[in-house]
Amino acid sequence: MVEDKHWNGAKIYEGARGFEISVPEGRIRKEFDEKEMKELTESIKTFGQIQPGVCVRDEEIGGFSLVAGERRLTACGRVGVKFQFVLREDLKKGDRVLKQIELEENIQREKLPFQNEADAIDELHTFMQEEKGESVEGVSGGHTIKDTADMLGKSRAIVSEDLELSMWGKYYKEVSGARNKTEAKKAIKRIKEEIKRTKALDEALNRNGEEEKKEEGPKERMKRRLLEYDKRCLEGKMEDLLPKLEGPFDLVFFDPPWGVDFDKVMYKHEGVKSYEDKSESFEESLRNWLQLIWEKMAKDSHLYMFFGMSKDSYGEEDQELSYFKEWYKRVPKRQFDNFDASYSCFMEGLRFSYGGFIYDIMEKVGFETNRIPLIWYKRGARRTRNPDIWPGRSYEPIIYARKGKRVLNLKGASDVIRTPAPTPRIKADHPSAKHPQVYRELIERSAMPGDRVLDPTSGSGMAGVACESLRATLQLDWTMIEKDKKWRDLGLFNLHKGYEEIVGDVREIEEEAPVSKRETEAIKGDFRKLTPGSREWKAYWKQWPEDQKEMLRWKDKRKG
């Protein structure tokens, strides 16, 4: 051993034959970057060891135990150079302060893997709490996170973050195995949300008593659920029933009576109701409806409003002009050269221009929106009266709005939702019926287990059908309101029928082979030979939209 060198006033020792330097188990640094090790090895080979390590005596082996400098010791061994170190004679192997020295030395080193660094900070914080005691709120003394942060010259927030990374990394490989700290933090967030969902589901299961009813048979279970559905499906006007309902609700679906049936040619018949959609009366009604809903929503909650408006919903040209004048008052006139140009722009983008007016109302009530609708794309729906001139309608906008700070479950989910179009079988029962899959997708975006869900204009009850389809994983507490008894009864029927059977009907239709244009041309002008709702009937409907009005009249007459 040589001790003729000094470093910062301390003697420097060199390892010699007969003296062994041991590396204690359980050190903070678990692995070394091979590229950096090669660079350090070349540096020591060329310039020698510039900075010594730190050791203490190890009486068990008659040598020394390493405290700091494992990378330098390894590099020296690779090139056959004696390892230089400072000997701490005032300490011996096993002293607790040695762990503190190792921790601080590793934490302050650059490029320590983030998980190793987090573990080191956690160990240092725990060590100091064992030495000085844990801090207790309202009581002076004890070691705090701020104390650890001050020791390391880091902010309290960063140290708190590292302590959390270390804790979760001990139990979850997706955290400890993350490529970087950002990825690890995202993993922790996902795990927390999953734990929250699991806890909420357990609470909902206990609240609903499902576990106590596992032994009941299918008939008993169905009878019980039908009685439950009957209590959940309320008959009456939302204006009358909502104030009496016990809230709050975490998720709301709202389909205001726009007075439009998108998927059929408009003419007066039993399934489509007439509304006087004058600008002033509609604005007042919508504001009142949304205010009622707002008051029943939870502090942090979501609303999805189906924006079923199109040119058809305004009726005659003078009514369209009335809506335009209302809209024209709200936009900067400098955007248009003249009145005619602005009217043309309005009619070209009527739905979304008028949508701005709807967003104004929602935001005045208190909702937060980004004024960009979700687009519900209905595969297979292409409705138009003039296929030679205009494309067929195949989508419907949905307004997504927030109350409070509730976040989405599906982060960054697309603003386009794709489902099959509501089939003629579904539409035959209710003219504005929606495919239950669209509700299901929206529920999965927003709902947590045990959430309370409201649909105050439920129509055919597909929101409830979707909620029940997710009973096993979400246990949603849902309520529907429908003012017409026959539609309320239809909702009960659809709930009894169930999601799988309804969607199964859709799959069956989607899998049918398409009818060729030659086949429909062969029967052009004689649709009365076809069975309403059949594959050929639907193909004819799509191929010859100019006959749709007459087809509907003949179909209704045939029913009568």
Q: In which band, very low, low, confident or very high, does the pLDDT at 239 lie, cut at 50, 70 and 90?
A: very high
The predicted-structure confidence for 182-209, as pLDDT tens digits, reads as follows: 898 888 888 887 777 777 767 766 766 6
Q: In which band, very low, low, confident or very high, does the pLDDT at 514 lie, cut at 50, 70 and 90?
A: low
Number of H helices, E strands in the chain: 23, 14
Q: What does residue 540 show for φ and ψ, rounded to 5 degrees?
A: -60, -40
pLDDT on residue 23: 83
Domain count of the fold of the chain: 4
Q: What does residue 392 show for φ and ψ, rounded to 5 degrees?
A: -80, 145
Q: Which of 162, 184, 215 is the last residue of a domain?
A: 215
pLDDT on residue 233: 94
pLDDT on residue 33: 77
525 and 470 assigned to the same domain: no
Q: In which band, very low, low, confident or very high, does the pLDDT at 222 lie, cut at 50, 70 and 90?
A: confident
Q: What is the mean pLDDT of residues 204-228?
A: 67
Question: What's the pTM?
Answer: 0.57
CATH of residue 428: 3.40.50.150
Q: Which of 105, 123, 143 is the last residue of a domain?
A: 105
The predicted-structure confidence for 95-144, as pLDDT tens digits, reads as follows: 667 766 766 665 555 556 788 888 878 887 887 888 788 877 666 778 88
315 and 344 assigned to the same domain: yes
Q: Do 252 and 456 meet the contact criterion of CB atoms below 8 Å apart?
A: yes
pLDDT on residue 108: 54
CATH of residue 52: 3.90.1530.30
Q: What is the mean pLDDT of residues 514-521?
A: 54
Q: In which band, very low, low, confident or very high, does the pLDDT at 497 lie, cut at 50, 70 and 90?
A: confident
Q: How far is CA 504 from the centre of its chain?
A: 27
Lowest mean pLDDT among 230-234, 330-334, 395-399: 330-334
Burial of residue 313 (CB within 10 Å: 0-12, 13-18, 19+) is buried
Q: Considering only residues 325 and 72, tell me which one the structure prediction assigns the higher pLDDT.
A: 72
What letter would DSSP give residue 34? H
Q: Which of 215, 230, 247 is the last residue of a domain?
A: 215
Q: What is the mean pLDDT of residues 478-496?
A: 91
136 and 67 assigned to the same domain: no
Residue 517 has pLDDT above 60, yes or no: no
Could you tell me the residue range of the domain that residue 197 belongs to? 113-215
338 and 481 assigned to the same domain: yes
Q: How far is CA 411 from the centre of its chain?
A: 4
CA pseudo-torsion sign 373, 374, 377, 378: negative
Give the Cα-Cα-Cα angle 226, 227, 232 (nearest 5 degrees): 90
Residue 363 has pLDDT above 60, yes or no: yes
Q: In which band, very low, low, confident or very high, does the pLDDT at 446 lie, cut at 50, 70 and 90?
A: very high
What letter would DSSP give residue 289? H
505 and 518 assigned to the same domain: no
Q: Considering only residues 116 and 342, tell me which one the structure prediction assigns the higher pLDDT.
A: 116
pLDDT on residue 512: 43
Crossing angle for the helix pair 114-132 and 96-108, to the nearest 10 degrees: 140
Residue 342 has pLDDT above 80, yes or no: no
pLDDT on residue 263: 35
pLDDT on residue 217: 67
The predicted-structure confidence for 32-43, as pLDDT tens digits, reads as follows: 778 888 888 988
Residue 360 has pLDDT above 60, yes or no: yes
512-544 as b/e: b if 16+ CB within 10 A: eeebeeeebeebeeebeebebeeeebbbbbbeb
Extended strands (E) in 49-118: 53-58, 63-68, 84-92
Q: Considering only residues 435 and 352, tell me which one the structure prediction assigns the higher pLDDT.
A: 435
Which of 478-482, 505-509, 530-534 is most confident? 478-482
91 and 169 assigned to the same domain: no
73 and 174 assigned to the same domain: no
Lowest mean pLDDT among 41-45, 207-211, 358-362: 207-211
Cα 180 from Cα 456, distance rounded (Å):
47
Q: Which residue in 375, 387, 385, 260 sits closest to 314, CA to CA?
A: 260
